[in-house]
Amino acid sequence: MLKINKLKKIKSNFPIIVGEKIISKKICNYLIDEISKSKNFDDMIMGGRSRINKGSKNFNKYISSSKISKKLFATFNTESFYKKIDNKFKTEFKANTWESLFKPKKFNQKKYTLKRKVNSKELKRLLGKNYKNPNLNLDIDFSVSKGGYRLRPHRDDINRIYNFLIYLTDIPKKNGGSLTLYKKKANKNLRKSFRRFPKNNELDKLMEFTPKQGSVIFFKSTPNSYHGVTRFKEKNCPKRFFIYGSYAFDKPVIWKYKNFEYHPYIVATKKRMLTSFHDSNYLLKSGNHAN
């Protein structure tokens, strides 16, 4: 179903592999049809993205009645497939790359990252203080976006190790909805920290990916993996069907780059929001010195 061997690395400041026609047009159309037939979505976020999320009763119902989606989910939701992706990155990025300080202890097919509203104190209690020996799981959603969907520059949540996107429709460049990669500006002082939601003037745009049917993108969710989505305009254009997922720890990831360690810091807030929406920054561990 997925031609993983066709994924190739591209030049970026964080590890990313991409490929076109990784999934056939026929399979993409089957997946679009299955998502379109869904009468219930779990939520709508970011101005127009409707999701069917792993872990929900709705997701289980969707998978049980959607043959191709079920097959794709079964492929991703295995330790063997995770290891294929992990080995692909090890092959493509052999030196001076970001790595997780702790390796996953086991892969749990039934687990998923909780989506519940908490404040920062409650989130810290959920995460605990010991980040060693994490377990690994797949998070995935089947999504469709209408006009107005956009995503400001950010880095994903602190428990994610790999992220991936599967585009099921062709979107003309003029209609937006492009994945955009960013790089922190060359100010050495900024490298001591990586904010989850940096200001626009802290970033330089690297490149854009216009959604193409069957294209797939994997990237490590490193502290500097900044990305966003330009505003999607639906006029004279199909809806933006896609699948988003990640391989995630049940604890925050401690990242290592060369001899430097970056540890997460959750910004204090009394506001209750979904666990994955919290502002959690990465800071250079005390005693390390960035060059």
Host domain of residue 126: 4-284
The pLDDT value recorded for residue 252 is: 95
Domain of 74: which CATH number?
A: 2.60.120.620
Q: Cα angle at 259 between 256 and 185, to 5 degrees?
A: 70
Q: Average pLDDT for residues 232-258, to the nearest whole number?
A: 94
Q: Say if 291 falls within a structural domain.
A: no
Residue 149, φ and ψ in degrees, nearest 5: -65, 135
Q: Say if 111 falls within a structural domain.
A: yes
> Is pLDDT of 290 > 60?
no
> Is pLDDT of 227 > 50?
yes
Structure-derived torsion over alpha carbons of residues 168, 56, 74, 20, reported in degrees to the nearest 10:
20
Q: Say if 290 falls within a structural domain.
A: no
The pLDDT value recorded for residue 50 is: 93
Percent of the chain with pLDDT over 70: 97
* Burial class of residue 261, CB neighbours in 10 A (0-12, 13-18, 19+): middle
What pLDDT, in 10s, does the model give residues 176-194?
999 999 998 876 544 788 9
Q: At residue 290, what is the residue type?
A: A
* 34 vs 234: which has the higher pLDDT: 34
Asked which of 55-59, 182-186, 264-268 is least confident by mean pLDDT, the reply is 182-186
Q: Say if 186 falls within a structural domain.
A: yes
Q: Say if 289 falls within a structural domain.
A: no
- What is the tally of structural domains in the chain? 1
Whole-structure pTM value? 0.93
Q: Say if 60 falls within a structural domain.
A: yes
Please report the DSSP string for 228-278 in residue order. Answer: EEPPP--TTS--EEEEEEEEEESSPPPEEETTEEEEEEEPP----EEGGGS
Q: Say if 201 falls within a structural domain.
A: yes
Token couple for 149 = 């969907």
The pLDDT value recorded for residue 98 is: 94
